[in-house]
Amino acid sequence: MVAMSDREVVVVSRPYEPEGDSLSLARDLAASTFGLVVYSTQTAVALTEATMRSVVGSVLDKTVPAIADAIISRIDLTDIVVRQVDLQSIILRALDEIDITQIVIDRVDVDEIVGKTDLDAVIDRIPMLQIADYIIEEIDLPQIIRESTGGVALDAFTTTRVSAIRADEIISTMVDTVLLRRLRQRERKLTVSDPEPDRQEETTEEPGR
Partner 1 sequence: MTSFQQYRDHHDAQGPVVLETVPAAGRRYQGDRAGFVIRAIAAVLDVVFVGIIVVLLWIGVWLFLLIFNPLIDPDLTVEVTPPSGYFLLAGYLLMWLYWTWMWATNGRSLGQYLMGLRVVGRQGRRFGWKLAMLRSGFCAVFPPGLVWAIISPRNRSVQDVMLRTSVIHDWSSSSSASAHESTPESSPSPTSAPTTSPSDAGE
On the 0-12 / 13-18 / 19+ scale of CB atoms within 10 A, 205 is middle
Longest dimension (CA), the chain: 167
28 versus 133: smaller Cβ distance to partner 1: 133
148 binds partner 1 (CB under 8 A): no
Interactions with partner 1, residue window 157-176 (CB under 8 A): 157-158, 160-162, 164-165, 167-169, 171-172, 175
Q: Where are the beta strands (DSSP E) in 63-130?
A: none
45 binds partner 1 (CB under 8 A): no
Q: Which residues, 6+ apart, have CB-to-CB distance to 201 below 8 Å?
A: 183, 186, 187
Taken in order 195, 201, 204, 209, is the CA torsion positive or negative?
A: negative
Q: Of residues 8, 61, 79, 206, which one binds partner 1 by CB under 8 A? A: 206
67 binds partner 1 (CB under 8 A): no
The binding site for partner 1 (CB under 8 A) comprises 127, 130-131, 133-134, 136-138, 142, 146, 154, 157-158, 160-162, 164-165, 167-169, 171-172, 175, 179, 181, 183-184, 187-193, 195-196, 198-199, 202-203, 205-206, 209
